[in-house]
Amino acid sequence: MRNDLIEVEQIEKYLSHQMSGEKKSQFETRMLLDGSLFEKVAAQRQVHKLIRIFSRRQQRNKLELIYQQLLREPSFVQQLKNIFA
């Protein structure tokens, strides 16, 4: 179990570009030799991607709510009309 945690930590450091050149090279060599490690890195990379997508969607939804609230404010609507008139 401890080795699994160490491996996850190494994968995270690799994906977040926190490894020095030599350690990065060693890790990449391990990935080439160990298909299982390569798959774990690919899976974790996919998790990072999904987290970014989810975060963007959350931000987009928050902005949409703010925009809808602003549209209910007459002064904001008037300012928009003045800008685009």
Q: Tens digits of per-residue pLDDT, 1-53?
A: 688 899 999 999 999 999 999 999 999 999 999 999 999 999 999 999 999 99
- Measured CA to CA in angstroms, residue 8 lies from 4, 5, 45, 65 at distances of 6, 5, 12, 37
pLDDT at 74: 87
Q: Is the pLDDT of residue 81 over 90?
A: no
Q: Which amino acid, residue 19?
A: M
Q: Looking at residues 68-80, what average pLDDT do you find?
A: 86
pLDDT at 21: 92
CB-hemisphere CA count at 13 Å for 79? 7
